[in-house]
Amino acid sequence: MTTKAHVIIYTKPGCHLCEEARREIAKAACGDLFTLEEVNIETDPALVRRYGWEIPVVTINGIMAFKNHVRADEFRDALRKTK
């Protein structure tokens, strides 16, 4: 049995690029390969300092994979490389 990749998208309310990233992740149609966690950076001042204007930031298994923009095909490829 293989372990699913853990994907975190760092976001904040009202972020249009974050909405776009969510759509692209869904469009990748590989939800069976990962678990998804969304983290609102506004809940933690340290996250605001760390990610501020770079959101959305997408990590896969704790490693930054994307910032600002995500494309479905690139997301799928990045997931496959984690195997």
Alpha helices in 1-83 (DSSP H): 16-27, 45-51, 72-81
Q: pLDDT at position 82, please?
A: 84
Q: Looking at domain 5-81, which of 2.60.40.10, 3.30.450.20, 3.40.30.10, 1.10.443.10 is its CATH number?
A: 3.40.30.10
Q: What is the pTM of this model?
A: 0.93
pLDDT > 70 fraction of the chain, expressed in percent and rounded: 96
| pLDDT confidence bin for 54, thresholds 50/70/90 | very high
pLDDT tens digit sequence for 20-51: 999 999 999 999 999 999 999 999 999 999 99
Radius of gyration of the chain (CA): 12
Q: How far is CA 70 from the centre of its chain?
A: 8
